[in-house]
Amino acid sequence: MPGLALGDVIPNIEADSTQGPIKLHDYIDESWTIIFSHPGDFTPVCTTELGMIAAYAPEFKKRGVKLLGLSTDSVEDHLRWIKDIEAYTPDAPVQYPILADPHRKITGELNMLDPDEKGPNGKPLASRALHIIGPDKRLKLSFLYPGTTGRNFDEVLRVLDSLQLASKQKIATPVNWQPGEPVLISPSLSDKEAKQQFPQGWKTINLPSGEPYLRLVNLKT
Ligand code: BEZ
């Protein structure tokens, strides 16, 4: 995504929302934050997604994560649409704010516009983008999906768990990792340093190269 790379500080955009005006840096404060865009209110995939995010709110709260939606519709449309979302996904009130960007200013600044998807007025819509922002206000991870493909919020929780673990310890998570499974010791740690961080020990996988870089460790719970 040109203009907003991993590690960049997220722009301090300001916009009106379903819960009043929001300044992004103030909203983030020092929390992990997920900002997610959707192509439009009163559309089917978006209605399923925003309901699921509301249903997963307790999981995000457990991880100390704030949620923030965004589309190019107005606050009035968002407020009317929320009633549909809550009817489709009952017992999951939409308690997170949704930003309104009818002039497409902040959607562009956040690299969330979809150049291929146009509204009835011919103007570009937001894509299904999702940025995970760290407490340092820097971009840690981005998804960019087209309008036709709904996101998987189990995967969002999984990558959050990986990001939060890796922010505290020198580890990385392997392919298809799930919380509780062994993780990989970061290649930046020597065995001597690893011994201090992981006194429980680890398993080094024997590989044809003979290089001891694949070190699996069970984290203490
Ligand atoms: C939807 O939310 O259903 C949708 C939005 C844009 C393109 C395709 C589907």
**DSSP secondary structure letters along 153-170:** HHHHHHHHHHHHHHHHSS
Which of these is catalytic: 15, 24, 34, 46?
46
Average pLDDT over the chain reads 95
pLDDT digits (tens, 9 = 90+) for 67-112: 999 999 999 999 999 999 999 999 999 999 999 999 999 999 999 9
Mean pLDDT along residues 150-160: 98
Nearest residue (CA) to ligand 1, atom 6: 147
d(CA 72, CA 37): 9
> Where are the domain boundaries for CATH 3.40.30.10 in the chain?
14-152
For the cut 70, the answer to whether the pLDDT of residue 221 exceeds it is: no
User: What is the CATH number that goes with domain 14-152?
Assistant: 3.40.30.10
Nearest residue (CA) to ligand 1, atom 5: 147
For the cut 80, the answer to whether the pLDDT of residue 2 exceeds it is: no
> Where are the domain boundaries for CATH 3.30.1020.10 in the chain?
169-217
Mean pLDDT along residues 175-183: 98
Q: Please give the distance, rounded to the nearest whole angstrom, from the Cα atom of residue 148 to the centre of ligand 1.
A: 5
pLDDT-based confidence at residue 1 (cuts at 50, 70, 90): very low
| Residue 117 and residue 149 in contact, taking contact as beta carbons nearer than 8 Å | no
46 in catalytic set: yes
Percentage of the chain lying above the pLDDT 90 cut = 91
Q: What per-residue confidence (pLDDT) applies to 122?
A: 86
Q: Please give the distance, rounded to the nearest whole angstrom, from the Cα atom of residue 149 to the centre of ligand 1.
A: 8
User: What is the CATH number that goes with domain 169-217?
Assistant: 3.30.1020.10
**Where does ligand 1 bind, in terms of residues with CB under 6 Å?**
39-40, 43-46, 117, 147-148
